[in-house]
């Protein structure tokens, strides 16, 4: 019975299929190598070539004062300062007792009060903040949350 099964397998066809697959893989690999080589040659031709003078004396940085020396560090510092503004309480208007509170505290206050569909609250239009490096505890006063005149308790 095994001899009949062996006769059904076309060994010559299997070998030719393997050879055809290997040949196709070789041709495709050669075509890809040629294509990438052509792309690199194309890029080399389009690149601006430096003159011997430019090669001998590379460009020096611009004179002082430089506007931005390290953009990544500047962005990190700016984000850290913004995070401090969002995460710490500070006085907006000390005379009227208006305080800027952290986002999570403000969200808790809004959730506890609830908002009706007819209410529209506008933020205060003051831009003053506590001096850099000081928190409310160092000001000697405890922050109090003032309600907006349009707010009504449920």
Please tell me whether residues 6 and 38 are part of one structural domain: yes
Is residue 148 assigned to a domain?
no
Give the structural domain span for 28: 2-56
Please indicate, yes or no, if residue 71 is contained in any of the structural domains.
no
Say yes or no: 133 and 84 in one domain: yes
Q: Do residues 74 and 88 make contact, with C-beta atoms less than 8 angstroms apart?
A: no
Q: How many domains does the chain have?
A: 2
Q: What is the pLDDT of residue 104?
A: 87
Assigned domain for 84 exists: yes
Q: What is the pLDDT, as a whole number, of residue 3? A: 59
Which of the 8 DSSP states describes residue 121? -
- Per-residue model confidence (pLDDT) at position 77: 95
E-only strand ranges, 1-154: 90-93, 98-100
pLDDT at 49: 83
Residue 37 within any structural domain of the chain: yes
- pLDDT for the residue numbered 128: 44
pLDDT for position 16: 96
Do 48 and 84 sit in the same domain of this protein? Answer: no
Q: In degrees to the nearest 10, what's the CA dihedral of 51, 52, 58, 63?
A: -70
Q: First vs last Cα of the chain: how many Å apart?
A: 89
The tokens of 103 are what?
């986002």
Q: Please indicate, yes or no, whether residues 40 and 84 belong to a single structural domain of this protein.
A: no
Q: From first to last of the 154 residues of the chain, give the pLDDT tens digit.
A: 455 666 778 889 999 999 999 999 999 999 999 999 999 999 988 888 888 888 888 888 778 888 888 889 999 999 999 988 888 888 888 899 888 888 888 888 889 988 766 655 565 554 444 444 444 444 444 445 555 554 444 4
């Amino acid at each position: 019975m095994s001899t009949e099964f062996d006769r059904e397998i076309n060994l010559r066809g299997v070998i030719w299929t393997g050879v055809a697959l290997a040949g196709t893989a070789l041709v495709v690999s050669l075509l890809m190598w040629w294509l990438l080589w052509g792309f690199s040659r194309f890029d080399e031709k389009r690149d601006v070539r430096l003159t011997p003078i430019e090669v001998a004396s590379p460009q020096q940085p611009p004179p002082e004062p430089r506007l931005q020396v390290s953009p990544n560090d500047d962005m990190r510092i700016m984000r850290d300062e913004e995070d401090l503004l969002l995460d710490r309480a500070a006085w907006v208007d000390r005379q009227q007792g208006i305080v800027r509170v952290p986002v999570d505290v403000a969200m808790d206050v809004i959730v506890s009060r609830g908002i009706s569909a007819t209410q529209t609250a506008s933020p205060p239009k003051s831009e003053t903040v506590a001096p850099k490096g000081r928190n409310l505890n160092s000001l000697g006063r405890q922050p109090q949350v003032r309600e907006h005149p349009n707010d009504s308790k449920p």
